[in-house]
Amino acid sequence: MKVSPAKENMLKKIRKALSTPVPLPFPQSEGNQSVFLPPADDPEILFAEAFSALQGRFLYCAGETEMQQQLSLLIQQRQWKEVFCKETLLREKLAHIAFSQKPLAGADVAVTGCEMLIARTGSIVMSTAQQSGRTTSVYAPVHICVAYVNQLVYDVKDGLQLLKEKYAGKIPSLITFATGPSRTADIEKTLVVGVHGPKEVFVFLTEN
């Protein structure tokens, strides 16, 4: 098939353009820098404010002993009988708690750790690399997350970067950003809590 001179001329221009790409005229507009600047407040305060604003229940613990005591007190006050926890390390730290031997489906509350906390959005980051798996944090009516101060990062971008570094090219198959209790306004624009996940979410932020 014969190519017309005009078409050949156009193809030459395209090939030339592809061989010498033009630099972006506004490189800073491509998301290279975060539009959110870290505030003066400590990340612990920032997370507590953001998480509480989303109807999350925040508890600060000065150490693991206080965390264990506060968690035991909460379980006693709420009269939870079936407390589910799948993570070996957490079960060892909370050996004084009588964890349920029943399946997750019958649990009153599920206890998990996390990958990290996002201070700006008040989000809990979890992944399938944790022993909790995909369902533990969303199946029970109440989710309790035990986290540590050194797991706090400012923004989502910081969290994703840490995950890339931590897993070195072997990113978990599922990464979840849980931002407060489950809620939806799909039905007549009325906010309903606990439709697709837990009705209550607690974070026990613990000093290392």
Say if pTM beats, i.e. exceeds, 0.85.
no
Q: Alpha-carbon torsion 92, 97, 98, 103, what sign?
A: negative
Second-level CATH architecture of 38-206: 3-Layer(aba) Sandwich (3.40)
Looking at residue 208, what is its pLDDT? 85
Looking at residue 6, what is its pLDDT? 78
Looking at residue 25, what is its pLDDT? 62
Looking at residue 169, what is its pLDDT? 76
Take residue 78 and report the two structure tokens written for it.
């709420």
CA 37, CA 133: separation in Å to the nearest integer? 33
110, 104 in Cβ contact below 8 A? yes
Mean pLDDT by 10 residues, the chain (208 residues): 74 75 61 62 90 92 95 96 94 93 92 95 93 86 96 93 89 88 59 66 94
CA 199, CA 165: separation in Å to the nearest integer? 33
CA 62, CA 208: separation in Å to the nearest integer? 8
For the chain, the structural domain boundaries read 38-206
